[in-house]
Amino acid sequence: MLTINDITVRLGGRTILDRASASIPTGGKIGLIGRNGAGKSTLMKAIIGEIEPDDGAIDMPRRARLGYIAQEAPAGTATPFETVLAADKEREQLLAEAETCTDPDRLGDVHDRLLAIDAYSAPSRAARILIGLGFDEAMQAQPLDSFSGGWKMRVALAALLFSAPDLLLLDEPSNHLDLEATLWLENFLKSYPGTLIVISHERDLLNNVVDNILHLQGGKITLYPGGYDSFERQRAERAAQLAAARAAQDAQRAKLQDYVARNSARASTAKQAQSRAKMLARMQPITALIEDPTMRFDFPSPDELRPPLITLDKAAVGYAPGAPVLQRLNLRIDPDDRIALLGRNGNGKTTLARLLAGQLEAMDGVMRLSGKTQIGYFTQYQVEELASAATPLELMTRAMEGKTPAAVRGQLGRFGFSGNTATAQVGTLSGGERARLALALVTRDAPHLLILDEPTNHLDVDAREALVQALNAYDGAVILISHDRHMVELTADRLVLVDGGTATEYAGSMEDYIDFILGRNQPREPQANGGKDAKPQRKAGAQWREDIRALKKQVSEAETRMGLLQKQLSAFDAALIDPASAPKDLAQLNMGELSRRRAAVADDLEDAEAAWLDASEALEVAQAGG
């Protein structure tokens, strides 16, 4: 068992972990979550001994082997296959000793140990792990220095998984992976025999792999049983309990303060007043769950344009003359399309995105673009290349040259940048804040088409959910490249498979595609998009998307109304319990009028809940029929 005992970690004068405690069961699979900057990586570094806690201790079995990916990617002339095999230090040492050992007894022990650790099947295990992470046989034999940084980090992950430590620690392992490799990793971790602690913002991974959620907030850690959805339910229940307890405590505090104020000066009651004053001093405030008011995405609505926005007719695209990466591209994009590009990394998804964004020209065939179409193109490079010394206000002012300060501030405010956050240096912002700033910059002209290439890498789970809601409320077209299948499933209604040097419409659902990747069934036949036979299908699809959008709006409006009515109901309940603490408009009402109005609000809430249920069921039926 791994035990974290009241550890405190301070970095740069700031307390990151504050007397944090938790017990991790042996063999447990733990999802470590928390807002960006909460201290998840700090806790992991404390567990592996890279950071020494200021107070407290971390205890674990003496001989437990820890595995953690170093910040630096492997490099050199060694191949990925050689690098992964070398990660098992014990096997490497035993094989070397077997070559030179002359003591028969020791040689027998060496061979027994080699059999015990399954050393002779190691090459096939290493190859399977590398294949799962996207390395074909040819790639496994290339030198590490021929790969990009992202692929080198895949080699580091493969080596760590191959070494099979007793305690495996992973920090955002899917950041450098495509969807296919992410699915393979998820299945590998499900059956991992050791203890696993993984920092991840992938909702599906946290639901399908882990059996406990370790939530880090305000320097404290809390262990919740179950996956992420279970954690969300428990956190919501805890928030409601805390709110009720806080309201009760506030009411009790108000009564005590009133008693002390009225009775301290009277000799007959001074002693009791003094006793209640001591009770007040001992009363610890109940802390509300922290919410981040700046975590916001709000895409400006574009002007209406007639379809199509973009048409590709037998187009080809690439980087070198005569060597197209993709060809025979037939694709039509309408103003209300929501398209996800599927396919392994290296198949050409980003190349197709750059063609549609106008960064590459068609080498062959035709690409037609509506003359008024504005396109916003987001990539991770934009996040990394933001000027560290500049402020969000300065960057947006330059990008919106000629616009009024109010317009500039308004665009920043759509993405949560106001007050001090708008004038802070970019270098001091978190990864999630920089991603929001990049999105604010690329959408400043209210684009008709938004192309997002892996937009979630710097976002925590709550921020990803906020982005999903913003995309669903956005009136323009969306093209999404993402390994976060939760986001793809909730935002895309068309799937385009980029494979075999071209891009074709994928006729199945996201679930069908996942089954295909995992070998659970056969893929449906892809259908080319853009031919005459596709026109009725596109028209039906457009009508279906319009129906879906209308139903989503009904669900959203019902949810908003339910929230407002629930707040009104809570206010009436509080006024009925303690009229003295009620707002002025309610304090003026007698108990009978309060009860009558509460009953009316309760009836309205019941109607709103019924409307929400009807709209939700209709939306579910419509989506299933799509």
Instruction: Give the SS3 label for residue 293.
Output: coil
Arithmetic mean of pLDDT over the chain: 84
Counted residue by residue, the chain has a size of 626
**Binning pLDDT at 50, 70 and 90, where does residue 87 land?**
confident
Q: Is the peptide bond before 308 cis (omega within 30 degrees of 0)?
A: yes
Q: Taking Cα atoms as reference points, which of 53, 46, 48 lies closest to residue 65?
A: 48
DSSP code per residue over 299-346: PPPPPP-PSPSEEEEEEEEEEETTEEEEEEEEEEE-TT-EEEEES-TT
Q: Read out DSSP for 4-43? A: EEEEEEEETTEEEEEEEEEEEPTT-EEEEE-STTSSHHHH
How confident is the model over 369-416, as pLDDT tens digits?
988 899 999 998 888 889 889 999 999 999 999 999 999 999 999 998
- Which has more pLDDT, 55 or 431? 55
pLDDT band of residue 527 (cuts 50, 70, 90) is very low
- Is 30's pLDDT higher than 90? yes
Q: What single-letter DSSP state applies at residue 527?
A: B
pLDDT (tens digit per residue) in 236-246: 777 777 677 67
Secondary structure (H, E, C), 552-582: HHHHHHHHHHHHHHHHHHHHHHHHHHCHHHC
For strands 494-499 and 338-342, give the pairing. Answer: parallel
Backbone angles phi, psi at 122, to 5 degrees: -55, -45
Q: What pLDDT, on a 0 to 100 scale, did the predictor assign at position 538?
A: 47
Mean pLDDT, range 170-177, rounded to an integer: 88
Paired strand residues for 367? 312
Query: What would the two tokens of residue 102 be?
Result: 């002359």
Kindly give the residue spans of alpha helices, DSSP state H, lying in 197-285. 203-208, 228-263, 270-282
The pairing of strands 212-217 and 220-225 is: antiparallel
Question: Is residue 394 within 8 Å of 426, Cβ to Cβ?
Answer: no
Confidence of residue 534 (pLDDT cuts 50, 70, 90): very low
Highest mean pLDDT among 44-53, 64-73, 541-550: 44-53
Report, as an integer, the average pLDDT of 272-277: 68
Instruction: Provide the CA 93 distance to its chain's centre, in angstroms.
Output: 41
What's the pTM value of the predicted model, to 2 decimals? Answer: 0.69
Task: Find the mean pLDDT for residues 420-449.
Answer: 91
User: What is the reported pLDDT for 530?
Assistant: 41
Q: What per-residue confidence (pLDDT) applies to 73?
A: 76
At residue 533 the predicted structure's pLDDT band, cuts being 50, 70 and 90, is very low
Strand ranges, E, within 421-557: 449-453, 477-481, 494-499, 502-505
Tokens 């493969």 belong to residue: 158
The burial class, CB within 10 Å (0-12 / 13-18 / 19+), for 378 is buried
| Contact status, residue 295 vs residue 265, Cβ threshold 8 Å | no
d(CA 264, CA 272): 8
Selection from 120-129, 390-399, 500-509 with the highest mean pLDDT: 390-399
pLDDT per residue as tens digits for the range 335-353: 989 999 999 888 999 999 9
What is the per-residue pLDDT across 61-79, written as a single tens digit (0 to 9) for each? 888 888 888 667 788 899 9
CA distance 464 to 469: 9
